[in-house]
Structures are given as C-alpha cells and as structure tokens.
C-alpha cells in the first residue's frame, strides 16, 4: 500500500498505491501500512533528512472508506474510536517527526486525502485538469474526522476554515486552494512536483507545523479572544440561515467541533472531532446520504439500467431549437469534444447558441447532413416536434439516434410521427443544462435497446448522470415534482398561509419553496400540462382545488410566473422579492389550522407515495434511478437518501401515510 524508498541524500518517498483498488482510500490496508511506514521512519531517523508523501494513482487520495462507514452501528463506536485514534496518532507522529515532510499532491485530494496532506508541513499541488482539493464530507452527512477540522481551524482561523472549506463541501482547483491557504505551491508537471518537494526539504530542515512552534497564535483569535467572542453568536444564526431553517446534523456538528476544538489543546480537539464524527457515522442521515450519493450514484453511472448493447459512440450532434435549453445542450456536447450543429427557423435565433468553436449554427436543414444524433429542444407541442423530426430525417446519417428533450409528453406518442420509432428516445435535460447533472432517458414502447444504450453513453460522455425510465405522462421526474407543486397550491387553496407553506418545505430540506418553484416553472406551463393530462385521461381525470387557483392566477390575474415578472411572488428587475400580498384574497376556503409537522410531511410523503407508484407501475426501472433522480433532478431533500429510501428508512412510513390520508386525502394512501 505504501512504497518506502530512501535515496542517497536521506529523502524518503512514501508512495501511496493500494494494490486492490484504483484509488487510495483510508481503509484497513492503508491504516496498517501507514503505521508500518512511520515505524520505519522513526527507526531510521538518523539516516532521514526529509519525507515526501505522494501517490502512484491518477489521484492522490480519494478519502475515507465509505463502504465500511456505511455499515457502522452504535455498537461499533469503540472500534471506530480506536481506528480513528490510530490514524490520528500516525499523522501526529509524522508531523512531529523532526524532519521536513512534504505532500506532493499529484491529483485529487478530497476528504481523507486532504487530511493526509494537512499532516505534512508543506503542500505542493500538480495543476492538472482533475486535481481538486476539498472536504466533501458535509455533503455525505459527515465531518472531516482524521484531523481535518482541527488542523484547518488552526491553520486558517475559525471563520475562513468554516466558510471556505469545512461547511461548503467545495472542491477547489489548485490555484483556488492556494489562494485560500491550504496549498503552498503549484507546479505544472509531475517531475517538477518532486523536484520542488526536494528543494523545499533542503531549504527547511527544521520544519514544523504552525501550532507546534513557540508563540503560535490562532489566526483571528480563539473563541475566548474579545474580537472573536463578539462574532461567535452570529455563527449558528448564519448557519441556520444558510440551511434555510432545516436541521441537518453534519453542518451543526462541524460548527460545534470547530468552535469547541479551538478552545482546547490540540490533543483534546482531536478527541472532540473523533467523538462527533462517530455520532454522525452511526446515525441514520449519513447512511441515507452515502447510500444515495455514493452507492446509488455509482450504480447509476456504472450502467445499472443501460442495456447490454454494443453501440458506436456519437460523432456529430444536431440540436433543433436555439432557445436556452437547446443552446445549453449544444454547449454541453461541444465541451465534450463532439461536433455540433444547431438549427433554428432563422439564422439569427440559431446564432444565439454559437458559444463554442465546435458549434455551427444554421437555418438550413441541409447543414445537418451526416449527423448521427439529433436532439430536439423546441416548444412543448407534439405536432411541432413531429414536424421538425420529419424535416431533418432525410439528411441525417443512416440509423441516427432521434431524441426529444420533452419534459412531459409521452415518447410513444411522439414516436408515431417518425419512420424509425426503434431509434426514438426521450433525453430530458434539466435547466440550466450547464449546472444540472441529471439526464432522464425515457424509453417508449417501441424504443430499442441500442437507442437507449446510445443515449446513455452520450449522457455519460457529456458529464451527466443518466437515469433510465419507462414512458408515461411526466415520466418520473416531472410527474413526481408535479405532486410537490400541486400539494403546495392545494395547501394554499385550503387557506394555509403562503409563507408557512414555503417555510415548511425549506425546513424539510427542499432547496426552494414550492410556490417559488411554481413561478420558475411558470404557472402557465403547469396549467397547460394539467389540461393536456385531462384531455388524455378523459372522464377519469380528477380535478383538485389547486387547479382552480392556478386558473385564477393565470387567466384572471395575469400572473403566470417569474418569466413574466409576476406570479405567486412579486419581482423587481427580475429578482424575487416578496409573496404577492393579494394571495390570501384569492382563497375562498376558510383558513385551516394545519400542524407545521404535517405541512413538512405532506411534501415528503406526497412525492414518496407517488414515487413508489412509479416503481410499482414500471415507470421507474430501478430504485437507484429513483433515489438519484429525485435528489439531482427535482430537489428532493438529500438527507433522506432519495425519495424511495425515505420510505424504506422511515420508522413507520405506512402508519404515517395512512394518518395523512385520513386528514388530507386518499392521495397519501401507500401502495
């Protein structure tokens, strides 16, 4: 695991290289190897002039051993304490070794990997495309527990350590990491990495960590210093504001660990850090997050739902429609190295998408000759979509993949207008394309496996996480997020104050309030989708109080959403300000006293019950797709581990769902 080499000048290079994995992690193999390496360093102290820690992998060090962490129970707490104490003891032995120790960071150093580097006296990073440094633990419901909190706070001070590194979960490029204090130097080649490390060792024979030097003072002061003491009360208030009122244990524990650890000696701070990490590790929320964002994500990206079909990679992509969505799709494809042609009805519209040298824009269908993929991103009208496919079909490469970016229209119906329905698939991107990581691939009744495989491979190539779902109105994501919005507007129609609705969703962990989200989506689109659904469903369609409220907003008060500058919210210069004061006057129902916990659960359960129906009906092919899709695509609270895992891990999902059904309607009845 750790190759030990001492050269003629006494410099020892410790090369991390786990023989059983493609990346180094803080597993049992590592722990034993690091103890052995430090033992040998101490035995050979008189022959050693310095130490370089580097990696033989493409990455420096990937972090903690998540499979082991995910299995941790409260009964494992003593063993976990011993394990973490061993890791920290070896780091402490390394940094107090009495010889200069340099981290030669040749790739990504995240979580535990950055903690390895922080136990060295000097950090030099390779400025390569994949090099990122950071503490993503907070996004997995954890904290950096191998000295990360303790060392970062002592190196930078409380406020910078918390805001830039520990609470943000950011993954910084080498230059950013240098600017924010955890990287000392940047080099451009692997050879220069080792050369600079050796040069620094020669120049700094008496290196020590700042907190081990005489006269050390924590940057910005300790919590007992008057200036910082005056600022401390704002820390939890700011955190609560950032969390939008949601109560999440990881950021709260990180804040507590940092502040408490800054008031005591280094060894005691390490113990505080260990205990708080074990509390998180053995809790439910960390398991939910690791389950979704590590295991489910790995399965989805690894092709769990991809058909086993051999297909050629995409070469040239045509994008039909140069609106915001079409331009975003084109840019994503171009950045991945694909040749892209964007077509719109006029050259002026098409030119909006020309943001990259690999993109050609046109109004002439002949310019799409030879494209082996076409992605349609025009207005949500079935006749228009079928017309644009019919127009371009004659010039495309033989067997070209035909994809529609529709968010709600059934793919099977759209495919009736093309000559090769087996090559027709839905590729539902999310806006803005450049930021949203999810791609929902929709399989129609006649879509072939090769088309699905080609769409999946294209999605992975452009950096998306592709879930594969079967056809149905709204598919999975649009259908389930529709229940979230409909539940909120239904609450409003019941007489629940709009502010309470928004706060309940935020405190449940949703990133955006549902009424604000409805404005973003546009109430006119919500209305149009509902009318299309009603027409397709016929007499079986059930109207709800929310429908009348949406109609009143759009048809009577001309408040269709954010794009128009007026919706549930008031907008000034395009920015959301306050809820529309006249909302309460629209509600004819008498105000209903709904317990605040019920408001939160109505959102969580409405989506969870419908997602389970999607699985039962075959719209969802796998639970993993549902969990990942709900978090990445529609903002289901990540702490749940995904919309289906929420139901699985709830102490009494069925009982609570039936209680909600009795109070608020049969839509909450579980399958």
Tokens 């369609």 appear where? 541
State the Cα–Cα distance between residues 162 and 540, nearest whole angstrom: 54
Q: pTM for the full model?
A: 0.91
Active-site residues, by number, are 115, 137
Close Cβ partners of 626 (under 8 Å, ≥ 6 residues apart): 467, 476, 611, 614, 615, 620, 642, 643, 644
User: What radius of gyration do the chain's Cα atoms show?
Assistant: 28
Angle among Cα 52, 55, 56 to the nearest 5 degrees reads 130
* Residue 567 predicted with pLDDT over 80: yes
Close Cβ partners of 193 (under 8 Å, ≥ 6 residues apart): 54, 104, 105, 106, 124, 126, 187
Residue 608 confidence class, pLDDT cut points 50, 70, 90: very high
- Residue-wise over 27-43: b if at least 16 C-beta within 10 A, else e? bebbbebbbebbebbee
Close Cβ partners of 344 (under 8 Å, ≥ 6 residues apart): 320, 321, 322, 326, 350, 352, 353, 361, 363
State the Cα–Cα distance between residues 247 and 480, nearest whole angstrom: 24
* Residue 566 predicted with pLDDT over 80: yes
State the Cα–Cα distance between residues 503 and 241, nearest whole angstrom: 12
CATH superfamily of the domain spanning 316-470: NAD(P)-binding Rossmann-like Domain (3.40.50.720)
Structure confidence at residue 351 (pLDDT)? 67
How do residues 532-560 score in pLDDT, each as one tens digit? Answer: 888 888 888 888 888 999 999 999 999 99
Pairing of strands 109-110, 63-64: unpaired
State the Cα–Cα distance between residues 622 and 246, nearest whole angstrom: 29
Q: Give me the residue spans of the domains in the chain.
A: 2-207+219-282, 316-470, 477-668
What average pLDDT does this structure show over 91-114?
97
How do residues 482-517 score in pLDDT, each as one tens digit? Answer: 999 999 999 999 999 999 999 999 999 999 999 999
Are the C-beta atoms of residues 562 and 571 closer than 8 Å to each other?
A: yes
Structure confidence at residue 350 (pLDDT)? 63
CA of 561: how far to CAs of 517, 528, 570, 580, 635, in Å? Answer: 9, 13, 9, 11, 19
CA of 608: how far to CAs of 140, 465, 472, 645, 669, in Å? Answer: 21, 21, 18, 9, 11
Q: Which CATH class is domain 477-668?
A: mainly alpha
Q: Dig out the tokens for 354 from the structure.
A: 């020309």
Close Cβ partners of 123 (under 8 Å, ≥ 6 residues apart): 102, 103, 105, 117, 182, 183, 184, 185
How do residues 450-488 score in pLDDT, each as one tens digit? Answer: 999 999 999 999 999 999 999 988 899 999 999 999 999
Phi, psi of 193 (to 5 degrees): -60, -50
Domain 2-207+219-282 has CATH 3.90.226.10: yes
* Residue 354 predicted with pLDDT over 70: no
């Amino acid at each position: 695991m750790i190759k030990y080499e001492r050269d003629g000048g006494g410099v020892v290079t410790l090369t991390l290289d786990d023989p059983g994995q493609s990346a180094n992690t803080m597993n049992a193999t590592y722990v034993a190897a690091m103890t052995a390496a430090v033992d040998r360093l101490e035995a050979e102290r008189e022959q050693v002039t310095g130490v370089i820690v580097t990696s033989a992998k493409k990455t420096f060090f990937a972090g903690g051993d998540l499979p082991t962490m995910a299995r941790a129970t409260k009964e494992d707490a003593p063993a976990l304490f011993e394990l973490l104490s061993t890791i920290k003891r070896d780091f402490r032995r390394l940094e107090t070794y009495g010889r200069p120790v340099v981290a030669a960071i040749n790739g990504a150093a995240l979580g535990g990997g950055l903690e390895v580097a922080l136990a060295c006296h000097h950090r030099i990073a390779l400025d390569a495309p994949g090099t990122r440094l950071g503490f993503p633990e907070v996004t997995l419901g954890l904290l950096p527990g191998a000295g990360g909190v303790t060392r970062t706070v002592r190196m930078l001070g409380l406020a910078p350590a918390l805001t830039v590194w520990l609470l943000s979960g950011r993954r910084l490029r080498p230059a950013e990491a240098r600017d924010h204090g955890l990287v000392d130097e940047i080099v451009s080649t692997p050879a220069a990495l080792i050369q600079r490390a050796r040069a620094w060792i020669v120049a700094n024979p008496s290196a020590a960590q700042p907190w081990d030097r005489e006269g050390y003072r924590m940057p910005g002061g300790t919590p007992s210093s008057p200036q910082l003491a005056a600022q401390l009360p704002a820390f939890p208030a700011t955190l609560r504001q950032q969390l939008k009122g949601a109560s999440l244990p990881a950021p709260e524990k990180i804040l507590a660990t940092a502040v408490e650890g800054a008031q005591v000696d280094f060894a005691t701070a390490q113990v505080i850090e260990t205990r708080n990490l074990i509390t998180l590790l053995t809790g439910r929320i960390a398991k939910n997050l690791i389950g979704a964002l590590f295991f489910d994500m790995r399965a989805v990206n690894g092709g769990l739902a991809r058909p086993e079909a051999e297909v050629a990679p995409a070469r040239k992509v045509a994008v039909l429609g140069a609106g915001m969505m079409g331009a975003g799709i084109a840019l994503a494809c171009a950045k991945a190295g694909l040749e892209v042609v964007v077509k719109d009805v006029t050259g002026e519209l098409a030119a909006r998408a020309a943001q990259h040298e690999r993109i050609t824009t046109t109004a002439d269908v002949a310019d799409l000759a030879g494209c082996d993929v076409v992605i349609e991103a025009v207005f949500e009208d079935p006749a228009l979509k079928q017309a644009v496919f019919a127009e371009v079909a004659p010039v495309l490469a033989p067997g070209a993949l035909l994809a529609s970016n529709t968010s709600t229209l059934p793919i099977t119906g759209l495919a009736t207008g093309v000559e090769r329905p087996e090559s027709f698939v839905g590729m539902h991107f999310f806006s803005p394309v450049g930021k949203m990581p999810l791609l929902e691939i929709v399989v129609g009744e006649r879509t072939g496996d090769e088309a699905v495989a080609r769409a999946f491979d294209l999605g992975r190539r452009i950096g998306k996480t592709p879930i594969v779902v079967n056809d149905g109105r709204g598919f999975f994501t649009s259908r389930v997020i529709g229940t979230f919005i409909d539940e909120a507007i239904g609450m409003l129609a019941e007489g629940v104050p709009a502010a309470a609705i928004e706060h309940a969703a935020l405190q449940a962990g949703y990133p955006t309030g549902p009424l604000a989200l409805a404005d973003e989506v546009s109430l006119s689109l919500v209305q149009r989708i509902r009318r299309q659904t009603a027409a397709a469903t016929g007499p079986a369609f059930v109207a709800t109080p929310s429908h009348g409220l949406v109609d009143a907003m759009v048809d009577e008060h001309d408040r269709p959403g954010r794009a128009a500058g007026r919706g549930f919210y008031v907008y000034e210069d395009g920015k959301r300000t306050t809820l529309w004061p006249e909302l309460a006057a629209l509600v004819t129902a008498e105000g209903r006293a709904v317990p605040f916990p019920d408001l939160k659960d109505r959102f969580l359960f409405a989506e969870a019950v419908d997602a389970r129906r999607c699985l039962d009906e075959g719209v969802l092919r796998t639970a993993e797709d549902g969990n990942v899709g709900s978090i990445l695509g529609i903002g289901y609270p990540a702490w749940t581990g995904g919309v289906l895992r929420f139901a699985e891990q709830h102490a009494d999902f069925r009982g609570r769902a039936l209680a909600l059904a009795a109070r608020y309607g049969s839509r909450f009845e579980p399958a």
